[in-house]
Amino acid sequence: MDPLGARSQFVCVETLSTWDQLKEEVDGKAESETHSREDVDKLTDGNATVSPFPFREDINRKIILFKGDVALLNCTAIVNTSNETLTDKNPISDSIHRHAGPELREELYKLKGCRTGEAKMTEGFNLAARFVIHTVGPKYKAKYRTAAESSLYSCYRNVMQLAKEHGMASVGLCVISTAKRGYPSEDATHIALRTVRRFLENHGESIETVVFAVSDIEEAVYRKLLPLYYPRSKEEEKARLSLLPSDVGNAEGEPVVPERQIRITEKPVSLEDGSEDDSENPDLMLVGNHAFAKMEGDVDKQRRLILQGQLSEAAQQKQQQRNYNRWLCRARAEDLSDIAALKALYQTGVDTCGRTVMVVVGRNIPVTLIDMEKALLYFIHVMDHITIKEYVLVYFHTLTSEHNHLDTDFLKTIYDIVDVKFKKNLKAFYFVHPTFRSKVSTWFFTTFSVPGMKEKVHHIENLQQLFTCILPEQIDIPPFVLEYDNRDLRQARLVPKHRSNQSSSQAQVKSV
């Protein structure tokens, strides 16, 4: 339910229970507590095998099992399962197309198909998800089981890799191997669960949520197998160890075919034991870390030319892109949970033109109390995947005080660092509840510091003006902003009434 009372059909993943919170009731006891004492004791002796999927509370907090339509999930991206021409008719694909609108089908024509095991990405259009990742699962035949397993692994792996590369916070995974393709449900679930588990272990720092969206039939299989790969306690880990299949894949979850394995010695060209040390030239270890190896030319010369204004526009853009990528890498690696907790920047719906709406709440930014460099990193981290397509910013200046005002130097730094797509795809900046001082500051800033922004800035005096550009059900407005706007509106209505009373009084005095 949004703050103005309009019910949305889309599902917010923040409201769903994570896997570590789910406790199925079995005969009046929680599932994680129903393992027999004998099963646990058998695995607690000194010779017990260590589980390849140990209890990890941090990973369990990222997993959600959702019984419902993946197309309704408000994730950064959802997954669509299709065929190689991306025209497959199945319940999942049909629902995604129905909610996304005809633009999605037009976009798919441009992709010119997708091979089995690969993944390609499009915009989400009218979906709550910003992106749709399309992948093609294999057709299953027992005779070619090994090939099918490898292809299905590639589907999940490539989906997760795309999510990581684009800095996506949440991914909604449908069941890729649909019944139409004949893949045994339980076998496919094993591959899905272990591939995602391994990816989160090795590469999933930036991914906050993975939702497994399943149907009624598929839910039973997922509930049965999830504890094998995501045990919710040490006891559950030990009790489910004996139920794991013999092939749990390699370190990345990829199926292992013993007869195809090739053993390579650690140093195949090294001499026999007792030979001299092979670290003859330590400088060789540095190959690839300097400008020459990266084919970037003389970095110092490039910087000098930039200062002298002699570097070409294309070279300047390349230099800026490298600088932005360094900031983006830092943003993905650093813990920014304290900045996220401020709830000063968040994504909401779309405007009347279908563009993504991002909200900035000025009162929630304690400029004098937080690390502003971390605030800059958080802005880059959140906005990187948003700015791939057109978007608008709504800034609530409501009830801000001196310690909430962003310094113009800081704003200039943001503008200089961010990628070209940030500036190109920003179509409007709505400044809500401005003061006279803020209007003057904005005019100076957009006139002298960031030329090209001036025509995008729109001062909005009240929410009714904003609703002409963004419908009420498409924007999540903080309660204090609504309260302030209602009070301001009531006062505005009282002023004309007061003035009319004054004029009638003056008329009576004149007549006397």
How far is the C-alpha of 109 from the C-alpha of 83, rounded, in Å? 13
Contacts of residue 86, Cβ cutoff 8 Å, sequence gap at least 6: 108, 111, 113, 114, 120, 134, 136
- At which residue do the structure tokens 């690696």 appear? 333
Tokens of 256: 């292992």
- Closest of 163, 176, 255 to residue 213, by C-alpha: 176
How far is the C-alpha of 59 from the C-alpha of 230, rounded, in Å? 8
Beta bridge partners of 121: 133
How far is the C-alpha of 159 from the C-alpha of 211, rounded, in Å? 13
Tell me the three state secondary structure of residue 267.
Answer: coil
Question: What is the β-pairing status of strands 345-350 and 356-361?
Answer: antiparallel
* pLDDT of the chain, 512 residues: tens digit per residue: 444 444 468 899 989 999 988 764 333 444 444 444 444 444 444 445 688 999 999 999 999 999 999 999 999 999 999 999 999 989 999 999 999 999 999 999 999 899 999 999 999 999 999 999 999 999 998 888 888 999 999 999 999 999 999 989 999 999 997 677 889 999 999 999 999 999 999 998 899 999 999 999 999 999 999 999 999 999 999 999 989 998 888 889 998 865 555 444 444 444 444 434 444 444 434 444 444 444 445 555 555 555 555 556 666 677 778 888 888 888 877 888 889 889 999 988 899 999 999 999 999 999 888 888 999 999 998 898 888 889 999 999 999 988 888 878 888 888 888 878 888 899 999 999 999 988 988 888 888 778 778 899 999 999 999 999 999 999 999 999 999 999 877 776 665 554 555 554 444 434 43
Tokens of 92: 């999942």
Locate CATH 3.40.525.10 in the chain: 337-489
Residue 391, judged by CB atoms within 10 A of its CB (0-12, 13-18, 19+), counts as buried
Please, what is the angle between helix 313-333 and helix 408-417, to 10°? 110
Evaluate whether the domain defined by 337-489 bears CATH number 3.40.50.970.
no
- Closest of 125, 129, 119, 14 to residue 77, by C-alpha: 129
E strand map for 317-377: 345-350, 356-361
How far is the C-alpha of 97 from the C-alpha of 85, rounded, in Å? 15
- Is residue 156 a contact partner of residue 210, using CB atoms and an 8 Å limit? no
**Into which CATH architecture does domain 13-256 fall?**
3-Layer(aba) Sandwich (3.40)
Locate CATH 3.40.220.10 in the chain: 13-256
- At which residue do the structure tokens 């339980």 appear? 186
- Is residue 474 a contact partner of residue 356, using CB atoms and an 8 Å limit? no
